Amino acid sequence: MSNPPISAQPRAEKPKAEGDYPVVMAIDFGTTFSGVAYALKADGEVHDITKWPRHLAQYPKTPTLSLYKKDSQKILDWGHAARLAMLKPAAKDFVLLRKFKLQLDETLQSAPLENGISALDAVTHYLKKLHGHVMSELMKGFIKNYEPSQFQYCLTVPAMWSDAAKNTMRRAAIGAGLIQEGDPPNRLILISEPEAAAMYCERMVDRFSLKHGDRFMICDAGGGTVDLIVFEVSEPPGKSRHLKEVTRGHGASCGSVFLDANMEALLERKFRRYRRGIKACGWASLMDTFVDMVKPMFNGQEDVLMQIPQATGLEDLNDPDIGLEEGVLCVPVEEMKAEVFEPVISDVLDLIQKQLHQSQVCNAIFLVGGFGSSRYLEERIRQEFSHLVGLIAVPQRPELAVVRGAVYAGLNTKTINMRVARRWYGVDANMPFEEGVDPESKKIISHDGYVRCKERFSVYVRPGQQIGVDECVSKEYVTWSYPKGLDSPLYVCNSPNQPRYITDPGVQKIADFHIPMPEIPGAQPRTRVVFRLNMYFGLTEVRAEAVINGNTYTTICSFGNRSN
């Protein structure tokens, strides 16, 4: 536990009481599309937002697109309007940001966003526009009887994201005006996307004849990421039903946008003789044809016939060498599988295999998300795993499973009562020095005269450990820094082996928990103070508090994040 000098001491504060909010709003911020749903706690009926600017048809999703002027960081438009603006002659003056959610996946080497816009700002700008529209729609109806301060928010995040990436979403929500900095922590609940989907599927447990002790896997396959977790149904006689995680959730960036990238590479190869003559809007229309018409319907059994849009200028072209005849491109089914679908789907199958290896027993797999409704993906999963898993199903409205499930999570936060840690969590501590084990360079003499080893990794949670949602992991420490506050770094490690030191390879500092020191009557500077650091790892976000002299105080957490 380190004690750096703190120039301005913040006042130690008791934890804020949890707020009571009559309206729950869920936002599923997606890589390609985003959705919003809400419910009143009084009746629990979930409503989808289906009206969006510049879009006539009612649909519960809107594109995750943002429009900026070149060399400007001020958002001009978003969603459908942003897409339409890029079809106009003035499009050359604009920049269209897309797929910027992937910037928060620290495993990807993403190119910086255009105009020098940070990932945090891109998400904040988009959420502000999305939320502003939704609130204006709601205020036209009976929800206008509620003040904005009476809304509680559930924001979905991939299970595979780091703690710093999740914290970026919280900061974006504050910047977008969903919540205020000083609001009670429970006003914004971050929930992992597969957990939200599990909440949606939990309501169908009876329909699928799942009973106490049965296990089901959620495969949430979206535009950018695929996330998986296995849950066990816990419904002892006479008690309400709960779900508990039984595997370490896992995921990867192998969603349907990577099919788009593969298809674009294939089309670039086929049309290389004509590519220079196709304008940007024509090429975009060609890709939209694949995304809207081909990708959802592909079944892996028939050749693909793709109508060439008029905007390409190639609608009357004939070129038998590439399979183009009278404006229709024929792509053989085997080429489509090998070049476009299988490279991505093989990654999804590998993720499922790893979850089954962890769980050993799995009674059902539920496919949710936009990519989860792919006929070919469902068929390939059946081919690979139907001999191991009795039920492989796509629930009704799979593209809404996450956003509706997030509303259910806000209505009943206790349905999922057990989670599984994905990595090692620990803090920096001085521990007894072990001769022959610890290096001399780490030997120190502490204030109490004992020989200790500095920079030890004091474990709070182990990977694979089951943790109750309200479970507190507590450890006692001593500080001699009074009246200065404490700075307790939080470290993580993804190694299968327990790290001994915070300097070991693979150990990363992800956050600092700043603990303001309360005034202790009669205490002199550098008085020995014993305190307990309580950590909560059972929620989507890590939370900490300090207990000093029998009183509990909030900690101020700051995350390091390359996406700032």
| pLDDT digit string (tens) for the chain, length 564 residues | 443 322 233 344 545 556 689 999 999 999 999 999 999 999 999 999 999 999 988 899 999 999 999 989 999 999 999 999 988 888 889 999 999 999 998 878 788 899 999 999 999 999 999 999 999 999 998 888 999 999 999 999 998 888 889 989 999 999 999 999 888 888 999 999 999 999 999 888 888 888 999 999 999 999 999 999 999 999 888 888 899 999 988 899 999 999 999 999 999 999 999 998 888 888 988 999 999 889 989 999 999 999 999 888 888 889 999 999 988 999 999 999 999 999 999 999 999 999 999 998 999 999 999 999 999 999 999 999 999 999 999 999 999 999 999 999 999 877 888 888 989 999 998 999 999 999 999 999 988 789 999 999 999 999 999 998 888 888 888 888 888 887 778 999 999 999 999 999 999 998 888 877 888 888 888 888 888 888 888 877 888 888 888 888 877 666 654 434
Fold of 23-192: Nucleotidyltransferase; domain 5 (3.30.420)
529: phi then psi, degrees, rounded to nearest 5: -125, 125
Q: What is the pLDDT of residue 10?
A: 39
88 beta partners = none
Q: Compute the half-sphere exposure of residue 110: CA atoms within 13 Å on the CB side of its CA.
A: 20
List, as one string, the DSSP characters of 366-377: EEESTGGG-HHH
State the Cα–Cα distance between residues 267 and 265, nearest whole angstrom.
Answer: 6
Domain boundaries, the chain: 23-192, 193-255+346-418, 257-340, 420-559
* 100: Cβ contacts below 8 Å, ≥ 6 apart: 64, 66, 113, 119, 122, 123, 126
* pTM (2 d.p.): 0.84
SS3 233: strand
Q: Do 193-255+346-418 and 420-559 agree at the fold level?
A: no
Q: Using an 8 Å Cβ cutoff, are 68 and 140 in contact?
A: no
Q: What is the pLDDT of residue 417?
A: 81
Fold of 420-559: Substrate Binding Domain Of DNAk; Chain A, domain 1 (2.60.34)
CATH number for the domain running over 193-255+346-418: 3.30.420.40
SS3 320: helix
Q: What is the pLDDT of residue 556?
A: 63
State the Cα–Cα distance between residues 320 and 305, nearest whole angstrom.
Answer: 14
Q: What is the pLDDT of residue 12?
A: 47
State the Cα–Cα distance between residues 232 and 242, nearest whole angstrom.
Answer: 8
